[in-house]
């Protein structure tokens, strides 16, 4: 009789802040189970694992060199250092990890700890044929909404076209998705808009996502009370086998040390926020990728100045602001250049509003805090998320869209002020109610708690005899 051994799961995150942060939250949860875990990383992303590895020292790391690509600047290993137009190349370059991973997994088969399953980001669809080659199951992890995931896969599956190739407002419909949403061409992810039939990178990116359909299922950072409509009805033109809605995944260390080195401590910001009334401060962030073009940054800054609102604005280092702005608003506005302690800020009682680009992690963090979003989507799945929040869920006000059109300062100041002074309205109470539903979903017996348990059981079934 062989010895029974906990299953060995190979975890492969996608190196972008918005993907790796929730992936590590999931990994932390898995580390609390009877599983043996190895996480794959390329050298310059290793520091991002610190919060996970310090909490879960039993996790092994497998560091592999980033595959060299003639199309990417040398040394770039994280998508935050690339413009959206290079994402396809980045996704494609990563697929060259197939061969070193295959060698490593094969080398483990004769040991006491052979790999039993792969859990990998949904941007790493090429790990599906890798898993099949070895004869082990693969589960895809999605850091997006189910709706956003469905829209992306539907696009790459169906390849819907515009009749007029110059019409950026051309409507593209999604009849297989509940509610049959319609998005304008410019609201679709650049990953799809840049697809060219026959182009090797386009075809590789397309295939990368189509492989996800063959995975045993998606582990999704979402929850039933929010996206039940997409979870309960089969996504007809798609073929996802199973979705475990496990979110919002609980942040490691309460979210205080995720995604980068903080440029200001959480306690400094908390002390600054303490002086303001409940729900009176707007927090502004466009996430880890987007840089607000300087004309938009100037208009937003001026609108904030005119609106008289209290705010904390977390921005990328390269964002430019009008001359003297920081001094003029110092009493009622805080500027954080670099990485901000976002989760802590959103949960401070004086923060009532979040002007967000609608990256899915930011959305979940706002919902957890029970605060209202002001939407300004910029790219990828953010337009889909924003429309869902405003039109379907009723949890947000639309503020602006995209990085090319520039709003008028007065118009923006008015929309901002009007939204924020609508305190006590329906949206606000819906957001608070959603905050309660999040707490319910993730607490013992809640829907996400159960789904996470179900996913863990699926992995534990793979126990091996050695
Ligand atoms: N984030 C943060 N500090 C920052 C900027 C972002 O902690 O200064 C975190 C944020 O809390 C979220 C993630 O980075 O967890 C960004 O992911 P999201 O999906 O919102 O947007 P993306 O960066 O992928 O566009």
Helices and strands, counts by H and E, the chain? 18, 17
Distance between CA atoms of 354 and 286, rounded to whole angstroms?
10
- Structure-model confidence comparison of residues 424 and 47, the more confident one: 47
Q: How far is CA 83 from CA 171, 289, 379, in A?
A: 26, 8, 11
Residue of 8, 19, 92, 310 marked active site: 19
Q: Which residues of 160-171 are buried (b: 16+ CB within 10 A; e: fewer)?
A: eeeeeeeeeebe
Q: Ligand 1 pocket test: which of 362, 365, 368, 381 has the largest number of ligand atoms within 8 Å of its C-beta?
A: 362
Average pLDDT, whole number, for the chain?
Answer: 93
Residues 343 and 257: their CA atoms lie apart, in Å, by: 10
What's the whole-number mean pLDDT along residues 23-32? 97
State mean pLDDT over 346-355.
96
Residue 438 near residue 223 (C-beta atoms within 8 A) = yes
What was the pLDDT predicted at 60? 97
Identify the band that residue 375 occupies on the pLDDT scale cut at 50, 70 and 90: very high
* Tokens describing residue 226: 């929010």
pLDDT number for residue 91: 97
Q: How many C-beta atoms lie closer than 10 Å to residue 420's C-beta?
A: 22
The residue whose C-alpha atom lies closest to atom 15 belonging to ligand 1 is 361
Q: What percent of the chain is predicted at pLDDT more than 90?
A: 84
Ligand 1, from 342, 366, 367, 377: best to mutate by most atoms within 8 Å of Cβ?
A: 342
Top pLDDT among 91 and 258 is at 91
Strand partners, 40: 62
Residue 1 has pLDDT above 70, yes or no: no
Q: What's the DSSP call for residue 46?
A: G
- Which has the closest alpha carbon to 440: 243, 245, 223? 223
C-beta 187 within 6 A of ligand 1 = no
Site to substitute for ligand 1 among 288, 344, 376, 380, most atoms within 8 A of C-beta: 288
pLDDT for residue 235 is more than 70: no
pLDDT at 466 over 80: no
Find out whether the beta carbon of 362 lies less than 6 Å from any atom of ligand 1. Answer: yes
Which residue is it, tokens 């062989």? Answer: 2
Please give the Cα distance from 311 to 323 (Å, whole number). Answer: 18
**In this predicted structure, what is the pLDDT of residue 320?**
87
> Would you state the structure tokens that stand for residue 251, as one six-digit string?
């942040």
CB of 285 closer than 6 angstroms to any ligand 1 atom: yes
Say whether pLDDT at 2 is over 70.
no
Contact 143, 360 (CB under 8 A): yes
pLDDT at 29: 97
Q: Where are the alpha helices (DSSP H) in 308-347?
A: 325-329, 342-346
pLDDT at 460 over 70: yes
Q: What's the CA gap between 429 and 441, in Å, rounded?
A: 18
Q: What mean pLDDT do residues 209-215 have? A: 95
pLDDT, residue 418, reads: 85
Nearest to 46 by CA among 64, 19, 73: 64
The pLDDT confidence band at residue 410, using thresholds 50, 70 and 90, is very high
Residue 76 confidence (pLDDT): 95
More confident residue, 281 or 422: 281
Contact 63, 45 (CB under 8 A): no
CA separation for the pair 229, 291 (Å, rounded)? 33
What lies within 8 Å, CB to CB, of 333 at 6+ separation is 304, 310, 311, 312, 313
Mean pLDDT of 256-283: 91
Ligand 1 centre to CA of 337 (Å) is 14
Distance of alpha carbon 126 from alpha carbon 92, whole angstroms: 9
248 preceded by a cis bond (ω within 30 of 0): yes
With a cut of 90, say whether residue 3 has pLDDT above it. no
> Mean per-residue pLDDT for 287-309?
93
| Eight-state DSSP code of residue 248 | S
Burial class (CB in 10 A: 0-12, 13-18, 19+), 274: exposed
Over residues 272-279, mean pLDDT: 96
Dump the DSSP string for 56-78.
-TT-EEEE-PPPP-TTS-TT--S
Q: What is the pLDDT of residue 259?
A: 81
Angle at 124 between CA 98 and CA 254, to 5 degrees: 125
Dihedral (C-alpha) 338, 344, 347, 352: value to the nearest 10 degrees?
Answer: -20
What the block records as the tokens of 93 is 């370059």
- Tokens (6 digits) for 241: 């086998």
**Could you confirm whether 19 is annotated as catalytic?**
yes
Query: What tens digit of pLDDT does each residue of 29-63 get?
Result: 999 999 999 999 999 999 999 999 999 999 999 99
* pLDDT level of residue 234 (50, 70, 90 thresholds): low
| pLDDT reported for residue 340 | 95
Give residues with Cβ within 8 angstroms of 253, minimum separation 6. Answer: 51, 55
Q: 121, 310, 357, 381: which one is catalytic? A: 121
Mean per-residue pLDDT, 248-254: 90
- What average pLDDT does range 437-460 have in this prediction? 98
Question: For the chain, how many residues are written?
Answer: 466
**pLDDT over 80 (residue 424):** no
Query: Is the pLDDT confidence value at 435 over 60?
Result: yes
Mean pLDDT of 133-151: 96
379 lines ligand 1 (CB under 6 A): no
Instruction: Please state the rounded mean pLDDT for residues 178-185.
Output: 95
Q: Which alpha helices (H) appear in 135-278, and where do they start and end? A: 146-158, 190-193, 200-210, 224-232, 266-273
């Amino acid at each position: 009789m062989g010895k029974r051994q906990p299953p060995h799961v190979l975890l492969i995150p996608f190196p972008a802040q918005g993907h790796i942060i929730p992936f590590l939250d999931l990994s932390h949860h898995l580390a609390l189970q009877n599983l043996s875990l190895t996480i794959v990383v390329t050298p310059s992303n290793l520091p991002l694992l610190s919060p996970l590895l310090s909490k879960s020292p039993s996790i092994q790391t497998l560091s592999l060199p980033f595959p060299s690509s003639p199309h990417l600047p040398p040394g770039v290993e994280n998508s935050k250092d690339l413009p959206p137009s290079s994402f396809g190349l980045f996704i494609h370059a990563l697929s060259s990890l197939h061969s070193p991973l295959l060698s490593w997994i094969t080398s483990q088969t004769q040991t006491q700890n052979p790999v039993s399953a792969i859990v990998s980001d949904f941007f790493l669809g090429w790990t599906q044929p890798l898993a099949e080659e070895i004869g082990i199951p693969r589960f895809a992890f999605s850091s997006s909404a189910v709706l956003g995931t469905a829209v992306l896969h539907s696009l790459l599956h169906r390849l819907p076209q515009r009749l007029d190739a110059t019409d950026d407002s051309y409507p593209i419909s999604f009849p297989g998705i509940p509610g049959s949403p319609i998005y304008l061409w410019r609201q679709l992810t650049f990953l799809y808009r840049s697809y060219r039939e026959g182009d090797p990178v386009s075809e590789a990116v397309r295939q990368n996502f189509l492989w996800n359909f063959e995975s045993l299922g998606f582990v999704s950072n979402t929850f039933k009370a929010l996206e039940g409509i997409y979870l309960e009805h089969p996504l007809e033109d798609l073929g996802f086998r199973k979705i475990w809605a496990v979110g919002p995944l609980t942040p490691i260390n309460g979210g205080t040390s995720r995604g980068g080195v903080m440029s200001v401590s959480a306690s400094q910001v908390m002390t600054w926020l303490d002086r303001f009334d409940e729900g009176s401060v707007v927090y502004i962030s466009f996430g880890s990728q987007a840089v607000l073009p300087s004309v938009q940054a100037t208009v937003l800054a001026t609108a904030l100045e005119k609106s008289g609102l209290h705010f904390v604005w977390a921005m990328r280092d390269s964002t430019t602001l009008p001359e003297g702005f920081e001094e003029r608003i110092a009493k009622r506005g805080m500027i954080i250049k670099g990485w901000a302690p976002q989760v802590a800020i959103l949960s401070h009682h004086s923060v009532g509003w979040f002007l967000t680009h609608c990256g899915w992690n930011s959305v979940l963090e706002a919902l957890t805090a029970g605060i209202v979003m002001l939407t300004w989507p910029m790219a990828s799945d953010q337009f889909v998320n924003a429309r869902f929040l405003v039109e379907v869920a009723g949890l947000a006000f639309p503020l602006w869209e995209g990085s090319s059109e520039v709003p008028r300062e007065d118009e923006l100041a008015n929309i901002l002020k009007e939204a924020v002074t609508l305190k006590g309205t329906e949206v606000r109470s819906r957001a608070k109610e959603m905050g309660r539903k999040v707490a319910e979903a993730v607490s013992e017996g809640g829907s996400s708690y159960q789904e996470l348990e179900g996913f863990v059981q699926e992995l534990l079934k793979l126990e091996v005899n050695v």
